[in-house]
Amino acid sequence: MTLEKTTTRTATQAFLRRIGENAQRFACDRTASNAIEYALLTFIAAAIILAVSQLGDAVSALYVQVQNAVSSF
């Protein structure tokens, strides 16, 4: 084996070891899971706000129809 191949192999092994160490540290880190949970809660809250605003428009239109029906009597 040449020196160049040995150096490349050693660098690759060191790189893969660092990736493994970082992945293990990330898996054990609970702050990342908290951040993900807060992001999911934000998306859920945005979906609820959007649904309520859409529902509010539909209910408002329904009240206008009822008002027009009652006033026509």
Sketch the domain layout of the chain as residue ranges. Answer: 3-71
> What is the predicted pLDDT for the residue at 5?
55
Q: What is the pTM of this model?
A: 0.44
Model pLDDT for residues 22-73, shown as the tens digit of each residue: 778 777 777 777 788 888 999 999 999 888 888 888 888 888 899 998 988 7
Phi and psi at residue 30, to the nearest 5°: -85, -15
Q: Can you tell me the distance from the alpha carbon of 34 to that of 20, in angstroms, rounded to the nearest whole number?
A: 22
- What the block records as the tokens of 59 is 């209910």
> What is the predicted pLDDT for the residue at 43?
92
Kindly give the residue spans of alpha helices, DSSP state H, lying in the chain: 3-28, 30-71
Phi and psi at residue 59, to the nearest 5°: -65, -40
